[in-house]
Structure 1
Amino acid sequence: MSKQDDPIGLDRAIAAETVLSHSDPESGQLLIRGYSLESLVQENSFEESVITLWQDVLSAELSMASLGQARMQVWQQFRPLQDHLKGMRPVERQRFLLSSLSETSTDPVLILAAAGVSAVLAMQENISNCEPDPSRSHADDLLMMIRGAESDQQSIAALETYLIAMIDHGISASTLAARVAASTRAGYVAAAIAALSVLQGPLHGGAPGLVLDMLDEIGSGEGIVPWLTAALDRGDRLMGFGSRAYRVPDPRAALFKASLWKLPEACRARLPLAEQVETTAIRLMAERKAGHVIQTNVEYYAALLLDAIGVPRQGFTPLFAASRTAGWMAHAREQQLTGRMLRPGSRYIGSYPSKG
């Protein structure tokens, strides 16, 4: 049995049956409710994409207006908690704010709004300056709250692409946590908090900012080969490369790269260097591991895109959660509908009492 098929790591183990999304590691295709990710991004807003994802699973009256009203409601609830956020890391702030929601809340629209508003508040020092505008689309409003000013249409479209593309991705580690929590009937809020706690890990969604740190250290085209060679000689993991979900380039990375090219030139100043680093890194890794191709993963161009539209690095993971909460809620409900509690087995390898 190969390491990839090792059941101890649960790689590719079937944890649930789902109608929500599917990723093919060989072709790189990502399906959301039967739609290709590309078509979903091209034809839908974030609100419309959530409606598509939630159909026949969650009974929720979701519209741009209802999500806007929910953003205002949770912002008013979160604002008095500002002083409690001091000294916390961004994901800790987001988790604290989400935990202030009533555990009996069964309104997925409210929880989705809370994830978005808490993501913004997690990256801001003064939340009083971040009042939402219920009349705006979710992407437009979140970006206005983050930047504190009106945004150009290209930047809003870029964030919309990001939010849709990250909405769901099969049974990832955080989604599994949401399903486990929901299977015990712990509720939607508990499922979201469990999932967020898992998402923050650096092997899942907690390290996209490190891609920018790497590019900062490389600095220029002349520094690419020396920096990458030294990192590979040390056995370091190159941030933004390699994925357990795909053996080909991540389809979301291509969407983010395309969105970057649509932004004003000043916003995508990092892109030429990033493309050189990408090409060189893939070549050097292929030379060192013949027959084992490591491709760009979603972190690479997600970090570049969010940075280009003005999202601070400390906000990358909270904003990931703001999108993925839509998927977590759908998976939580789908798991609840099975009526079964998720409880995997284990194989005991410890000692036994001696006989005598």
Structure 2
Amino acid sequence: MRDQGADGERLTTREAAERLGVKPETVYAYVSRGRLSSRPAHGGRGSTLDAGEVDALARRTGRREPSAAADPTFRTRITLIEDNRYYFRGVDAVELAGRYGFEEVAEWLWTGVPRPGIRFSAPQESLEAARRTVAALPAHSGPMDRLRVAAVAAAATDPLRFDLSPEAVIGSARSLIPTLVGALPAVGQPDRAGDRLARQLWRRLTALPADDASLAVLDTALALLVDHDLAASTLAARVAASARAHPYAVISAGLGVLEGPLHGAASGLAHRMLAEVVQRGGAAPVVADHLRNGQRIPGLGHRIYTAEDPRAQALFALLDKIPRAAPALAAARDVVTTAARHTPLHANVDLALAVLSVSARMPAEAGETVFAVARTAGWIAHALEEYEERPLRMRPSGQYVGPRAPQPLP
């Protein structure tokens, strides 16, 4: 049984072995060599080890042997979701995004230290390599294709990418995120030194000029979407970090899962629906078509929130101040009202992103791009946490259901 002494948490030999990913015999060897210290347990049965020493040794040595069992628990200090609200490091995420821009919120998520006014910048070598690689893709390639290859190209230019110390990982993230944005083809005015990341991204989503109100919506959307607990892409990123993949590979893992139609692509479906509602002058025929075809209505409902998604609430309030967004915003509200006759679902963040993309003449994939760029910061935050955990702890056992062995050689 685990012991909690006056000087901290104590572990049994078996518990220490599980944390280290080794056999109990190896723990005894660590003690005999002085790498761990032990003392008799209460009652004189067995010995216990200091949990802090064990965790420090795990971080230094990595996993040496297969663990007896996977650890399904994710201890996190990043995001809490409860009572239809969500919080970054205990601070209301909507209030945080209302006061600070994306880069400042990302920095807060990584370090817990506010750095007002911080700007991320891309190293020239990394940016040029990413742009050359993206330019070599076929013309029909989408933004997710471009982001994935840009991450690989940026990794190739960073010989220090295998340094997993917090300072190095955060430094890589500060340069990688603007590299990803800068590698996307620009359709607006050229970038200027010192531009916020949101302004750089705007120029890659639409040719319309970025007025302050519209830019505030995009910057807030990025800040709101930084993290949302253990979504599928975040879980993939943590698995990669558990294997001690470098931060560029962690981002690549997250991007690979994000492209799935059940995750990052949802905002594109909402965009197309909303554009059709605006074109047809009302939501009723569009909603009816979706229901007739057995399709769910994009942009409505969320598996966590029983009321309206707080991210959607915040973005709708900002969009309401932009005259150009009025038709798309009215269409979104019409969708919610019309669908409520069939099922009581509330708007989620995908519908709010669709209002932004439709009103700003962005492509249907714009919401997915915003989501991906924002979430890279969250994946880095989770990687920083996972690097502090026992390596390769997420190793479930498969339940074999194939032919009974041995079978004859084919």
Q: Which has the higher contact order (CA 8 A, sep 6+)?
A: 1
Q: Give 1:304's aligned residue.
A: 355
Give 1:111 deviation, angstroms: 3.5
Secondary structure, aligned partner of 2:192? coil
Identify which of 36, 47, 50 aligns with 2:106: 50
Equivalent-residue separation in structure 1 for 2:361 and 2:280 (angstroms): 24
Equivalent-residue separation in structure 1 for 2:174 and 2:369 (angstroms): 12
Identify which of 147, 164, 187 aligns with 1:94: 147
Give 1:208 deviation, angstroms: 0.9
Matched, 1:335 2:395: no
CA contact (8 A) 1:130 1:146 kept: no
Give 1:174 deviation, angstroms: 0.4
Give 1:169 deviation, angstroms: 0.5
CA contact (8 A) 2:278 2:327 kept: no
Q: Give 1:79's aligned residue.
A: 131
Give 1:150 deviation, angstroms: 5.0
Deviations 1:115-142 (A, max 9, x none): 34434644x3x68x77532312222233
Q: Give 1:352's aligned residue.
A: 404
Letter in 2 for 1:137: R
Q: Give 1:162's aligned residue.
A: 221
**Unmatched runs of 5 consecutive residues or more in structure 2:** 1-70, 162-167
Equivalent-residue separation in structure 1 for 2:228 and 2:358 (angstroms): 22
Letter in 2 for 1:85: L
Closer, same or farther: CA 259–15 of 1 in aligned 2, 3 Å = farther
Q: Give 2:176's aligned residue.
A: 114
Give 1:294 deviation, angstroms: 3.0
Matched, 1:22 2:80: yes
* TM-score, normalised with respect to structure 1: 0.81
CA contact (8 A) 2:244 2:391 kept: no
Give 1:215 deviation, angstroms: 2.4
* TM-score, normalised with respect to structure 2: 0.71
Equivalent-residue separation in structure 1 for 2:305 and 2:72 (angstroms): 17
Letter in 1 for 2:199: D
Q: Give 1:216's aligned residue.
A: 275
Q: Give 1:8's aligned residue.
A: none
Letter in 1 for 2:314: L
Q: Give 1:278's aligned residue.
A: 336
Q: Give 1:194's aligned residue.
A: 253
Structure number with higher helix proportion: 1
Letter in 2 for 1:135: G
Give 1:154 deviation, angstroms: 0.6
Identify which of 307, 322, 327 aligns with 2:373: 322
Letter in 1 for 2:381: A
Secondary structure, aligned partner of 1:242? coil
Secondary structure, aligned partner of 2:80? strand
Equivalent-residue separation in structure 1 for 2:333 and 2:132 (angstroms): 44
Q: Give 2:66's aligned residue.
A: none
Matched, 1:266 2:324: yes
Equivalent-residue separation in structure 2 for 1:208 and 1:348 (angstroms): 37
Q: Give 2:96's aligned residue.
A: 40
Q: Give 1:3's aligned residue.
A: none
Give 1:201 deviation, angstroms: 0.9
Closer, same or farther: CA 254–339 of 1 in aligned 2, 3 Å = same
Letter in 2 for 1:108: I
Equivalent-residue separation in structure 2 for 1:220 and 1:86 (angstroms): 31
Equivalent-residue separation in structure 1 for 2:145 and 2:286 (angstroms): 33
Identify which of 177, 186, 189 aligns with 2:236: 177
Deviations 1:34-60 (A, max 9, x none): 111221022222222112111169xxx
Give 1:308 deviation, angstroms: 2.9
Give 1:251 deviation, angstroms: 1.0
Give 1:149 deviation, angstroms: 7.0
User: Which structure's CA Rg is the greater one?
Assistant: 2
* Count, aligned residues: 326
- Runs of 4+ aligned residues of structure 1 deviating over 4 Å after TM superposition are 61-66, 145-150, 219-223
Equivalent-residue separation in structure 2 for 1:148 and 1:217 (angstroms): 22
CA contact (8 A) 2:242 2:387 kept: yes
Closer, same or farther: CA 120–274 of 1 in aligned 2, 3 Å = farther
Give 1:206 deviation, angstroms: 1.6
Deviations 1:257-300 (A, max 9, x none): 1111122x123321112211111112212xxxxxxx43322211
Cα RMSD after superposing both structures: 2.9
**Unmatched runs of 5 consecutive residues or more in structure 1:** 1-12, 286-292
CA contact (8 A) 1:94 1:115 kept: no
Give 1:15 deviation, angstroms: 4.3
Equivalent-residue separation in structure 1 for 2:403 and 2:302 (angstroms): 36
Secondary structure, aligned partner of 2:245? coil
